[in-house]
Amino acid sequence: MRVLLHPFYTMIVEVEHEAGHAASDTLSHATEHGAAQHAPEFPNVIDILHQATGGQSPAINFIFEYRTVLFATAVWLILGALAFLAYRKRSLVPAGIQNFVEWVVEALSNMVVGILGEPGRKLVPFIGTLFIYIFCMNLFGLIPGMFSPTSKLNTTLALALCVFLYVQFTGIRNFGPLGYLHHLAGSPRSAVEWFLVPLNLPLHIIGELARPVSLSLRLFGNITGEDMLLAIFATLGVSILSFTHLPIGIPLHLPFIFLAILTSFVQALVFTLLTTIYFSLMSSHDEEHH
């Protein structure tokens, strides 16, 4: 029930008290006001500090400006500490945190190798880290006072660009510069295929450039939708008990938290699977033709 004491609810009650409208009118007003500035979401600790200082503190303003980067950094620091603890007291018979970490690594390794084959094992560290990092960032916003960095487009676009650059680098390394251009042209072999190169080459280039856009927008849209859904139903729960003038409410958003956990996992998995498929498309075309 500690989520009921979240500062978000206090802010909503104050808005209703000042407006003096009915519960339904207050919800509509709060939703419209939030949509005019930004998507409705739970305030995090940095937002609360920024509001408390009224934007007068240069240090808080700096932190507020780069809050997305700070929360993303906090996630990888936590993951780094977890990996350090699992590695520091490792043993031949794993137990505790080492057992859990090895289980996660083995599951991700089996998934990547199952798609790319044995040569894809060298990509397990990159793809596996990508999944764990995205999944944890998705879940981070469900902690009271925290924030999901993946609900901002700059985070998801940065991740997608990393994937895009690594995929192109892998293609150049596998095929060579000329072979890479041959791959982008559709790997023509017959006279008809060579004749269609002026058409296939631009289409393939556009397709490659569209991949980071689709990856980033898909992840950003779904996580942002989760945060908006939780905030709206939490607002509705507070509005129902607005007559009490207390920072409490009915936790209508509680069932959607479990849905958000599932969606966070699915979106991280989709991002990872698509990344793995993009790497598979940069494999040798000899196997494809065979």
Write the DSSP symbol of residue 131.
Answer: H
What is the span of the domain harbouring residue 127?
2-13+43-289
Distance separating alpha carbons of residues 84 and 80, to the nearest angstrom: 6
**Between the CA of residue 86 and those of 79, 99, 100, 103, 237, what are the distances in Å?**
11, 8, 9, 12, 41
Residue 38 lies in a domain: no
Which helix (H) or strand (E) segment holds residue 132: the answer is helix 124-140
Structurally, the chain folds into a number of domains equal to 1
Residue 260 lies in a domain: yes
Residue 19 lies in a domain: no
Q: pLDDT 10s digit of each residue in the chain, 290 long?
A: 333 334 443 443 343 344 344 334 433 443 444 434 556 778 889 999 999 988 888 999 999 999 999 999 999 999 999 999 888 877 877 778 888 899 999 999 999 999 999 989 999 999 999 999 999 999 999 998 999 999 999 999 999 999 999 999 999 998 999 999 998 888 888 888 888 888 889 999 999 999 999 999 999 999 999 989 998 988 888 888 888 777 778 888 888 999 999 999 999 999 999 999 999 988 754 444 44
Would you say 252 and 236 are in contact if contact means Cβ atoms under 8 Å apart? yes
Would you say 130 and 159 are in contact if contact means Cβ atoms under 8 Å apart? yes
Question: What pTM, to 2 d.p., does this model score?
Answer: 0.81
Would you say 71 and 147 are in contact if contact means Cβ atoms under 8 Å apart? yes
Write the DSSP symbol of residue 144.
Answer: T
Which helix (H) or strand (E) segment holds residue 200: the answer is helix 197-240
Residue 122 lies in a domain: yes
- Could you tell me which of 3, 8, 2 has the C-alpha nearest to residue 47? 8
